């Protein structure tokens, strides 16, 4: 049995490859618009704020705040995943309206609280690196 939830791995394409390979060097990246400087997630060919078409991957701090979460008690993979586990929606510190659905790890589910500060870590899946978040350690 594993401590991590079962995953169907993403299939990176030309627009998303930068995101799924970010964990290789331990740095979280999002697209950023050259015109208005907004971060764009999920990756898109056009900025959703100003409609500019020049966006580039940019590193962020990896810090986030827990916006919402649910605790899953169902082992959806036939019992291979240890339950319960936490699915969270996090807001990156650089831009609060950029949110990422992820797992909250290295924390007991009962200790997870909305508003808690988090930091990214990556789960190496060979061809992709899955961004997970854990509580910020003092």
Give backbone dihedrals phi and psi of 17, rounded to 5 degrees, phi first.
-55, -40
On whether the pTM is more than 0.85, the answer is yes
- Sequence ranges of the domains in the chain: 17-135
d(CA 70, CA 89): 9
The CATH classification of domain 17-135, taken from the options 2.40.50.840, 3.40.50.80, 3.30.365.10, 3.40.50.300: 2.40.50.840
Query: Does pLDDT of 32 surpass 70?
Result: yes
pLDDT score for 1: 38
* Nearest of 34, 82, 89 to residue 67 by alpha carbon: 89
Q: Are 17 and 40 in contact (CB under 8 A)?
A: no
Express each pLDDT in 71-118 by its tens digit: 998 877 665 567 899 999 999 999 999 999 999 999 999 999 999 999
pLDDT score for 3: 53
């Amino acid at each position: 049995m594993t401590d991590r939830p079962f995953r169907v791995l993403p299939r990176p394409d030309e627009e998303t490859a930068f995101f799924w390979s970010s964990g290789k060097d331990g740095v979280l990246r999002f697209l950023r618009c050259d015109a208005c400087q907004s971060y764009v997630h999920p990756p898109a060919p056009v900025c959703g704020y100003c409609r500019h078409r020049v966006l580039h991957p940019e590193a962020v701090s990896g810090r986030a705040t827990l916006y919402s979460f649910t605790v899953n008690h169902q082992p959806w993979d036939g019992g291979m995943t240890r339950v319960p586990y936490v699915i969270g929606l996090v807001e990156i510190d650089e831009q609060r309206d950029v949110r990422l659905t992820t797992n909250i790890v290295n924390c007991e589910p009962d200790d997870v609280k909305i508003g808690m500060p988090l930091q990214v870590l990556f789960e190496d899946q060979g061809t992709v690196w899955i961004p997970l978040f854990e509580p910020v350690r003092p």
